[in-house]
Amino acid sequence: MAQEAQAKPLPQITDLTRPFWTAAKNRKLVMQKCTRCGTMNFYPKAWCVECGNRDLQWVETKPTGTVYSYTVATAVMMNFPGWKDDLPIVLGIIDVDDGARMYGQITDCAPDKVHIGMRVQAYFADISEEAAVPKFRPV
């Protein structure tokens, strides 16, 4: 692992998480749906956090959601130095409409205009040959 040389962190992709990164590469947001109770799980889990069923199915969610909370980073802390050029970075907790809660960067919006309850839509930014990350912008 040549993490030292990386400007921004890259995921160590496993068979568990690969469907998420591959889907994002194909401009789709997917999460694990429990085949028993229907709960959407995120980040990728080994079983359903609601009912304990190990049979989870990757399903596509709507790319839309609502901002549950947000913060505006003006310094890089506990992350890789490559983020420095992107500051200020708006990071949100997004309630995905038919999915689960997730972290996501909010872009294309002045930081002081971001607000809780704001409607957002996912788009995808490639971070490697194998992976892309969903980010969000106002609808």
Partner 1 sequence: MRGEVAIVGYGRTPYSRAKPGERILTVDEYIAWAAELALQSAGMSKNDFDGQGLGIAHAEASHTVNWSAAVAEGLGISAKVLLRADQGGASGAALLIRAAAMIKAGIIDRALIIGADTPCTIPSVAPGLPLSPERTRGVFWDFQGPFAVMGANSQFALVQTRYMHQYRLREDELSRSLGKIASVSRYHASLNPGAIYRKPFTIEEYLASRILSYPVRLFDCVPLVNGGLAYIVTSAKTAAKVTKKPVHLLGFDEINNYYHGPRTAPDITYTGFEQTAPAAFKMAGIECKDIDLFLPYDDYPMVVQIQMEDYGFCKKGEGVRFVQERDLTFRGNFPISTDGGQLSGGQPGGAIGGFMPIIEAAAQLRAEAGERQVKDVKFVASSGFGGMTYARNNRSCVSLIFGSER
Tell which one of 26, 35, 53, 74 touches partner 1 (CB under 8 A).
74
Tell which one of 36, 58, 64, 70 touches partner 1 (CB under 8 A).
70
Q: What is the DSSP string of 52-107?
A: --S-EEEEE--SEEEEEEEEEESS--SS-GGGGGG-SEEEEEEEETTS-EEEEEE-
CA distance readout (Å), 54 to 20, 34, 61, 67: 17, 8, 20, 30
Tell which one of 36, 58, 95, 138 touches partner 1 (CB under 8 A).
95
Q: Cβ 14 to partner 1, closest distance in Å?
A: 7
Q: Is 17 in the site for partner 1 (CB under 8 A)?
A: yes
- Judged by CB, which is closer to partner 1: 125, or 139? 125
Q: Cβ 19 to partner 1, closest distance in Å?
A: 13
